[in-house]
Amino acid sequence: MEIDTRIYCTQGPKTLAALQQGALNGLRFVFKDLFDVQGFRTGAGNPKWLETHDKAESTSPLILSLLNNGAECHGRVQTDELAYSLNGINVHYGTPVNPLAPDCLPGGSSSGSAVAVAKGDVDFSIGTDTGGSVRVPASYCGLFGLRPTLGQLPLEHSFTLAESFDTAGVFSKNLTILNKVFSCLSPNKRRHTVATTLMLDESLTKTLGSERQAELERWAKRAGIQLEYRNALQEAGYELGDLSALFRTVQGYEIIARHGSWLDDYGHTLAPAIQERVEWARTISKQDYLNAKEQQTKFTQWLAGQLTSSDVLWVLPTTPGKPPKLTTADADLAQYRSDLMGLTSLAGLSGFPQLHIPMTNIANGPCGVSLLGSANREYDLIATASSLILGEA
């Protein structure tokens, strides 16, 4: 059968058998083309990257953990080039079709990871999330998507974009499966707590919109969870646009620091929109970076202070709304990206875990909301999400 190369990579592996029995017996997965498998090349979404890098000498410990827990791998899947995009567009391999909204973007950079699950090809997938690359495609494709705490899952033997923010993450249509997968991958075995209060910042309610807000209020009432509105961000002097710029400054500097030499030689092979992003990143000075890192630390400390209670989580719109149309102009996508990264930067800057929950019965979708907690509270996010949806997804 001919494979859809907009979703699946051709360099292999096509399949990897489970190495032993375990908690994931019979479950199928795919992995993003940023993770290494011994004997195969990692392409990072760009043909020239694939050509200029040797076959991997080792396999990602995440892939090994999945295989050792009984899961079966059904292939390597596409990513936006160098994972430096949230759209899901790849000019070399094509844009995967969003199964829920074929005329809209699938989201990236973990586009193949999301679409393969949304199509029903596999039960779950692993991707990466630096600036939103699990959370955004999960929102666009109607999936649960978990960005764990920074450093929670090992990233050895994988492509690095920006070390201050890179995480591995999990997609699934089924929250129980996502929980099983995370339990197998993470050393975090702490017990879970269902939050009694969800805090929604007033600055996010306009972005959330009336339809999602009504659905969230319905969920919270049914689950017996209090929805509390505060104006914490504005009172602390934080604007989403400033947080987006802060994130992009740290990210851009680290990308050039790590990949500048390769980009000097082969940056011209990237899509024009990504080339523009790279050229902007080259203008960031070391002092700009150091200043941004200092501000990042202060923001993280502030947000941690908002989440000290084990009974409280934040809730927020994962994305501004439904995915942009495929026909959206590049200039409009660039502005949308800036707005979007204001939302994704909360978890990105802090390194805290975030779980996207799809809302399946709203007109302005696919989209949903996210739960955000302090470090290592992934199981609290999952348990609270389960309480909110009560079997709806």
Catalytic residues: 32, 109, 133
Query: How many other CB atoms sit within 10 Å of the CB of residue 191?
Result: 7
Contact 208, 139 (CB under 8 A): no
The DSSP secondary-structure symbol of 150 reads T
65 Cβ contact list (under 8 Å, min separation 6): 184, 185
CA distance 205 to 316: 8
Contact 353, 255 (CB under 8 A): no
Query: For residues 319, 322, 328 and 333, what is the CA-based torsion angle, rounded to 10 degrees?
Result: 0
Please count the residues of the chain: 393
Q: Is 280 exposed, middle or buried (0-12, 13-18, 19+ CB in 10 A)?
A: exposed
252 Cβ contact list (under 8 Å, min separation 6): 277, 280, 281, 284
CA distance 278 to 174: 36
**Could you tell me how far CA 246 lies from the centroid of its own chain?**
18
CA distance 190 to 9: 36
CA distance 337 to 107: 11
Q: Angle at Cα 391 formed by Cα 27 and Cα 364, nearest 5°?
A: 100
- Provide the residue type at 156 as one letter: E
| Two structure tokens written together for 358 | 């799809």
Contact 284, 252 (CB under 8 A): yes
- Provide the residue type at 306 as one letter: Q
